[in-house]
Amino acid sequence: MGLFNFWKSKNSSSFLEIPIVAGGSADEDKFKLLAISSAVDLIANAIAMCEFRTFEKDSEVKKMNYYMLNIKPNPNQNAIEFWKAVIEKLYFDNEALVVSIPDGQNNYLYLASSFDRDDYVLKPKYFNNVVIDDLSLNRSFKRDDVFYFRLNDNSAISMIDDYYSTFGKVIASTLSSYKAGKAFRGIVNISAAMSAQDDAEKKIKQYFEKLFNALSSDKPVQLVPLQEGMKFEDLNNQYKSSSFEDTKNALGMVKDDVAMALHIPAGLLKGDLADVEAQTKNFISFCINPIVELLASEINRQLYKPSEFLQGDSVFIDTTRVVYINPFEVAEKIDKLIATSVYSPDEIRIKLGDRATGEAGMQKRYLTKNYGELTLKGGENGAGSNEQSSNGD
């Protein structure tokens, strides 16, 4: 972009009434929104990859609840779209309301775009004026009839906004300084003879507008002839600005702070390749698992009665799919997990991201002869001897 500071006649004490021509503006809020959106999208994608496993009396089953949570929450969204929308709503608004609406034999889940909440202490809350997309539902929902997710009383996004209201000025200054340093600037001296011509101000203004448009274009070569009676003085070398690295560092600090507020390893958010495995583990442990527990707790509270939950009916959100596992790199560990009867071969396949075979032999658990139940046989002197009993190969 370009900036012409002023134009003045050499031999005249009066200024020509020609507007200063300048260009360029910085919208520093875009960088904050970019950092926040990247962070929330990272969390939403991870949650959407999880499997909502359903159990009845501690035995895993796949029935309508499983289909609703993992495949088709409602006729207009698949599960990935739905859960990403829920997580984004949860982070940006600090709360998300999901209502269940019956349709024939099915109950569908819908994320509320907006709602009003009646807060009570000793009786259930009610949600009113619920809107789904542009559809207003003319009814109230009782607390026990909805999924209501809430992060905490202090929204992380609000805290980032408050922090950025001050720190954002530093970034804006750094960015403006960098852009100003790359701008085209100079002074054009206009002779008295030229400024005295008829319609001088109009002609000079038109010329400078053309000159500015030419110099601010993205063409690699820019040649603009000066009119007779004009002299141009280049000021670019006299202006010092912050470097591009200063700007990058300032923007990197925004991502660092957003990552800290949302419990995401900063390197993971910025795309650093160093120690990705450790960063991913920390991401799941400190960011994803708490959100998963929040979702699972609310879903179990809504879907199951206390007696059903205590008998083993529940939803468990499996986060193992968030991490890619190369089966060839963990072959020995897989062997140990099967040999110790921790998992069946089909369960291992699922953990690795493959489909279960469904074969009877692949669904059994095995215990090698090196492992088994430990029993003690006492001797006459009270000393015991160990005996292992085992099954399997």
pLDDT digits over 88-133, tens only?
999 989 999 999 998 878 889 999 999 998 887 778 889 999 999 9
341: left (phi over 0), alpha (psi -120 to 50) or beta: left
Q: Which residue has the higher pLDDT, 7 or 41?
A: 41
Strands 95-103 and 146-150: antiparallel
How much of the chain is helix, strand and coil, in % rounded to 5?
45, 20, 35
Q: Over the chain, what is the mean pLDDT?
A: 78
Helix (H, G, I), strand (E, B) or coil at 222: coil
Predicted confidence at residue 348, as pLDDT, reads 87
- Closest among 256, 316, 330, 360 to 31, alpha carbons compared: 256
Tokens of 171: 């970034």
45/282 Cα distance (integer angstroms): 16
Predicted confidence at residue 299, as pLDDT, reads 96
Backbone angles phi, psi at 63, to 5 degrees: -125, -155
**Count H helices, E strands: the chain?**
13, 15
Does the pLDDT value for residue 45 go beyond 50? yes
7/20 Cα distance (integer angstroms): 9
At 314, the pLDDT band (50, 70, 90 cuts) reads very high
Q: Which residue has the higher pLDDT, 376 or 241?
A: 376
What does the pLDDT look like over 271-286, one tens digit per residue? Answer: 887 788 889 899 999 9
211, 187 in Cβ contact below 8 A?
A: no
Q: Which residue has the higher pLDDT, 297 or 258?
A: 297
Does the pLDDT value for residue 156 go beyond 80? no
- Closest among 266, 65, 76, 257 to 162, alpha carbons compared: 257
DSSP string, 310-366: HTT-EEEEE-GGGS---TTTSHHHHHHHHHBTSS-HHHHHHHTTPPP---GGGSS--
Q: What angle do CA 285, 287, 288 make, to 5 degrees?
A: 75
- Say which range, 75-84, 236-245, 369-378, has the weakest mean pLDDT: 236-245
Strands 126-132 and 114-118: antiparallel
45/81 Cα distance (integer angstroms): 10
Predicted confidence at residue 10, as pLDDT, reads 39
pLDDT, average across residues 188-200: 67
- Closest among 108, 110, 107, 84 to 97, alpha carbons compared: 110
DSSP string, 103-118: ETTEEEEEE-SEEEEE
What does the pLDDT look like over 287-307, one tens digit per residue? Answer: 999 999 999 999 999 999 999
Predicted confidence at residue 99, as pLDDT, reads 96
9/126 Cα distance (integer angstroms): 74
Find the radius of gyration of the CA atoms of the chain. Answer: 33
Predicted confidence at residue 305, as pLDDT, reads 93
Q: Which residue has the higher pLDDT, 373 or 303?
A: 303
126/146 Cα distance (integer angstroms): 10
Helix axes 156-181 and 244-261, enclosed angle (nearest 10): 180
> Could you identify the residue written with the tokens 């109230």?
140
- Say which range, 188-202, 253-267, 278-292, 300-314, has the weakest mean pLDDT: 188-202
388/115 Cα distance (integer angstroms): 62
Which runs of consecutive H residues, i.e. helices, occur in 185-303? Answer: 192-195, 200-215, 244-261, 266-270, 276-283, 289-303
- The total of other beta-carbon atoms located within 10 Å of residue 58's CB is 9
